[in-house]
Structure 1
Amino acid sequence: MSPGTRRGILIGGALLVVVVVAAAFFLLNSGGPAPEAATGTEATAVESPGAHDPNSAITEYLQDVSENNPDAAARLTDDNAAAAVALRSTRNALNPSSVTAKLSVLQPAPAGAKQTGGTFSLSWTLKPGQVWTYDVPFQLALSDGKWLVHWAPSLLHPKLEAGQRLVVSTAAPDTVAVADRDGKPVVFSGTGGPRLVDGNPAPLLRTALLGQVTATTGGGLAVERLDAGGKSVERMFGKAPGGGAKPLVTSLSLTAQSSAQAAVDGYKGSAMLVALDTGSGDILAVAQNTAAGASPKALSGLYEPGSSFKIATSVAAIQQSGLNAASPVDCPGVATIGTRTVRNEGFELGATNLETAFARSCNTTFGKLALDLPADGLKKAADELGLNADFEIPGLNTELGKVEPAASKDEQVEDGFGQGRIQASALGGTLMAATVAAGKAITPRLWHDVETTVVKGYSPPPAPVLGQVRKLMRAVVTSGTGHAAASAGEVFGKTGTAQFGDGKQATGWFVGYRGSVAFAVVLEESNDSGPAVQVAAKFLKSL
């Protein structure tokens, strides 16, 4: 490719800089005085780099720099490798929309001279209206009959020294970019870019937290000169908006997040936990352990909720069938309901009441209650508890659940105790519990500064209905399957075990609330709800 054609190609478009752009670490080598003129004849005139006269050498170099052709520019210097790396890395770091390098002064080179020099101007258009321009001294030397630009870091900026680099910053060093709901730092921003506080307290939310900092970055920026260790030596240009700016506020509570993470990390299998503030809808914690993988299943993974869905079945039975906590029901150990044979987990209660059947998690009772409902009865209850709602929470991809009218009577029976085609996520289970606790529709949010979009909202069950459901959920902890949580205070909840696949594995659930904190624990393949109750109790005790 001819030099003329080469210079006509612009390599890479540059985006406007709105965030911290971290350059790949590189060392700007050399920086010493101009070399003595070479006298050797190791290379032929055709093969040696450079130009036949000083003016051509510096003019071609500046044109290649302007046109973002670092390799060509580097071949016009006396340190090809170092120059190519430094020119490319600095261009990537500053990410300008354009660069203009123009010759200002070239000292005359008398006949026989082997060195000369001058100055050129270098202009970086970093953002509209923000152009960084300065003068750069340069030296030229004759080598093997060709003129070369003497490479030094100072060709990028007169103050730049060996081992140093330039980066763009959108905030002062160690500025708090995001604080939790209690004012504790969650994300810092500075010359190295936004970063979570030490310990990476919310790994599942890392992208959401850092991305929101990027999305809300102001219009300012600064160019910093960093030393070899990445420490800022000097602000070279501009003004970062982060200094003194009010940080974003996330709904997270670092205390709750730490407690949730410790609770799931203490479980050997796959575990996830979500917690919400029932008053504000604040997402207080989202945690899952290593065994659950890196994908945020706590927010979007859908599972059969098992008997935790009996909260919805109870809402439907109380609201649509006129029952209350004291209503008499039957709880046989095994029952044929429609054409479906339903069994309890090795117990029967006989004649009892709704509160006891709920507390002991009697499948035969709730299969019969579901069959007595209209075909869409359970869906209506699930709607009122938020399982079919849809929210767009900035930075998060969430799924709450999926509850549709049963396709058959047998399916309707199975739906009554959370099998069939009923699905929910840990976030959905938490929202269901939060709705019971608060008596109002909850809009989950991750930010105090950025609104959650309600794509599909919901209206809660009537207050008298929820009053009865609260009695049922409290009995689960005082005298039922969630008794292991009794030591964690006044806890309301519902356990669940949902078989899937060939029926040999089951997901364990515990959904509930204490005070203003609603939660859901989901354990994959635990085959029992007992461990989920223990994880929840550990979380609540540490708050």
Structure 2
Amino acid sequence: MSPGKRRGILIGGALLVVVIVAAALFLLNSGGSAPEAATGATAVESPGALDPTSAITEYLQDLSENNPDAAGRLTDDNAAAVVALRSTRNTLNPVSVTGKLTVLQPTPAGAKKTSGTFSLSWTLKPGQVWTYDVPFELAQGGGRWLVHWAPSLLHPKLEAGQRLVISTAAQDTTAVVDRDGKPLVISGAGGVKPVEGNPAPLLRTAITGQITAAAAGGFAVTRVDAGGKSVETLFGKVAAEGAKPLVSSLSLAAQGAAQAAVDGYQGSAMLVALDTGSGDILAVAQNAAAGNAPKALNGLYEPGSSFKIATAVAAIQQSGLSAASPVDCPGVATIGTRTVKNEGFELGATTLQTAFARSCNTTFGQLALALPADGLKKAADELGLNADYDIPGLKTELGKVEPAASKDEQVEDGFGQGRIQASALGGALMAATVATGKAITPRLWHDLETTVVKGYSPPPAPVLGEVRKLMRAVVTSGTGHAAAAAGTVFGKTGTAQFGDGKQATGWFVGYRGDVAFAVVLENSNDSGPAVQLAAKFLKAL
């Protein structure tokens, strides 16, 4: 029987007894007339349990099931209990917690207090199980039994103002550094914390979560005072001084430039940067408007015309085109049964390079329709958008590109407005693949391996040589001209409408030297701000 069902039976049974007794007394006093239904009043259940055993048993069940709100309601200090239980659980981050009642003193009739002992067992990580006994007290109030709250319910030595933390070093030491050896995370008697300024807030959990697993055996639960000073190590042992810090792929310089760039934008903005040679994730940044969830790493959006990189790969590789090939770019065209429009321009007879640079939808809708049904998917596969990686500490999604279900959908896919999806990380990976001609394996660590769940093979070198010409023209003479002052930048803009078409996501995907990047602006309705944001980032580097 589940805890909830057992609790419901206890409470329900007690209420039934109360109702039967009340009804019997009424009948005795009124000569047998049935009572009229009460109106306008609803009984509110008081906190606590009907008997001592239920109170402590249910408290331990809620504690084990990670339900601090329910456990707190079974104590005589709900607010303090909930805060302490939730904070401790989040800090120790256990695999599981088990509480078991071991001793409960008999409760004579009429007694208002009792006490006992329960055991608490924390499975903190494989092979690290911390078990100890905890004395407790129960008191009755208003006919209900409550657990008396005190910090010692978390550990018998824990006093008011103190807390439990995970420690990996006897004193503050650098636990994680960036790729250049600059400190990112400090670990010590006060726990694990980022360096001043919290330079990579989106990756804080990912980074700190890997520390204890790689800290050369250092792992301890420490009791600290209100100021974070260690009072006593309660479990495990700290690492010996001089333990080697983990090396992350992040660059503090790139991360700072990326964060400053997105913070300077009023709407929702995200930016990911990769090292094209090593696959290092150099920066992952979002501003406050984008929220706290790491959408830059796993949020999937229609990529709009930034997906024309893949359409160009497919047209060059599968249809035999080159950057200089003649194409047609009318302002409006009926392609299949779809009416496709450009953003207020037409080029007429032109070249693939110019159509790409100016982002001509009618050209790329026609190119897509001429491909096999799986032609765009094959190109997306070769650019890594359907790849999958297991990066320690991160949940990532690169993209989702499937064969078109119809010719109309194939036309829309050609300029990224069909069912095509990509993340900012996927966009940066696509750009890095074009830059290097190699399959890129993104990584967050130099010490911990990224697992390739589903890899990919890049397009042939001659194909990518033509695509690079197209991407350079975007900046020198096309829609990405605002990035020209940031150096030799290669890129592709994109604007993807969604919903009822009144809102659109802005993209700029590209690379400069050994840095590939993707900027995604939610609801920007224009790719121009994305280009400007990328230029700001690149200039800061």
Tell me which interval the TM-score lies in, with the shorter structure as reference length.
0.7 to 0.9
- Corresponding residue for residue 399 of structure 2: 401
Contact preservation (8 Å) 1:64, 1:73 = no
CA shift, 1:222, in A, is: 5.5
CA offset digits 1:216-247 (Å, max 9, x no partner): 34434557675553324677997511521111
In the alignment, the residues of structure 2 paired with residue 298 and residue 62 of structure 1 have an alpha-carbon distance, to the nearest angstrom, of 48
Structure 2, unaligned runs of 5 or more? 1-49, 65-85, 90-109, 121-130, 140-147
CA contact (8 A) 1:7 1:64 kept: no
> 2:470 corresponds to which residue?
472
1:487 is matched with: 485
Whole-angstrom distance in 1 between the partners of 2:482 and 2:423: 23
The answer to whether the aligner puts 1:255 opposite 2:246 as a matched pair is no
Off by >6 Å, runs of 4+ in structure 1: 1-14, 21-24, 46-50, 60-67, 162-168, 233-238
Provide the aligned C-alpha RMSD in A: 3.5
Of 183, 206, 225, the residue aligned with 2:204 is: 206
Q: Distance in 2 between matches of 1:319 and 1:198?
A: 50
- Cα 1:227–1:414 change in 2 (3 A) is closer
Match of 2:522 in 1: 524
Match for residue 85 of structure 1 among 150, 158, 168: 150
Give the C-alpha shift of residue 293 in structure 1: 1.4
Matches within 5 A, 1:38-57: none
Answer whether contact 1:175 1:242 (CA < 8 A) is retained.
Answer: no
Residue in structure 2 matched with residue 443 of structure 1 by the alignment = 441
Aligned residues: 435
- Within a 5 Å distance, the mapping from 1:220-235 to structure 2 comes to 220-221=218-219, 226=224, 229-232=227-230
Correspondence for 1:70: 135
1:260-289 deviation digits (Å, cap 9, x = unpaired):
111111111111111111000011111111
Give 5+ residue unaligned stretches, structure 1: 15-20, 25-45, 51-59, 75-82, 94-152, 154-161
Q: Where do 1:110-189 residues align within 5 Å?
A: 169-189=167-187
Higher helix share: 2
Q: In the superposition, relative to structure 1, how do residues 92 and 257 fare at CA in structure 2: closer, same or farther (>3 Å)?
A: farther
For the 8 Å contact 2:313–2:379, the answer to whether it is kept is yes
Task: Please tell me the residue identity of whatever aligns with 1:170.
Answer: T
Cα separation, 2, equivalents of 1:298 and 1:538: 18
Structure 1 residues 73 and 342: CA distance shift in structure 2, 3 A: closer
Q: 1:250 to 1:92 in 2, by over 3 A?
A: farther
User: 1:281 maps to what in 2?
Assistant: 279
How far the C-alpha of 1:405 sits from its partner, in A, is 1.0
Compared CA separation, residues 412 and 164, structure 1 to 2 (3 A)? closer
What is the CA distance between 1:295 and its match in structure 2?
1.4
Distance in 2, matches of 1:8 and 1:469, equals 67
Name the residue aligned to 1:509: 507
Query: Which string of whole-angstrom CA distances, capped at 9 and with x for unpartnered residues, describes residues 459-490 of structure 1?
Result: 00000100110000000000000000001100
CA distance in 1 between partners of 2:165 and 2:301 (Å): 46
Give the corresponding residue for 1:193: 191
For the residue of structure 2 that corresponds to 1:351, the secondary structure is: strand
Alignment CA distance shift 1:277-1:91 (3 Å): farther
Deviation at 1:408, TM superposition (A): 1.1
User: What code does the residue aligned with 2:274 have?
Assistant: L
Q: What is the DSSP-based 3-state SS (H/G/I as helix, E as strand, rest coil) of the residue aligned with 1:508?
A: strand
Superposed displacement of residue 170, structure 1: 2.4
Question: C-alpha distance in 2, partners of 1:8/1:272?
Answer: 47
Q: Give the AA of the match of 2:190.
A: G
Give TM-score scaled by structure 1 length.
Answer: 0.73
Give 1:169 deviation, angstroms. 3.1
Q: Which residue of 1 is the match for residue 214 of structure 2? A: 216
Q: What is the distance in 1 between the residues matched to 2:119 and 2:480?
A: 72
Quote the Cα distance in structure 1 between the aligned partners of 2:60 and 2:523. Answer: 53
Q: TM-score, length-normalised on structure 2? A: 0.73
Offset of residue 321 of structure 1: 0.8
Larger Rg: 1
Q: Which residue of 2 aligns with 1:78?
A: none
* Aligned partners of 1:7 and 1:67 also within 8 Å: no
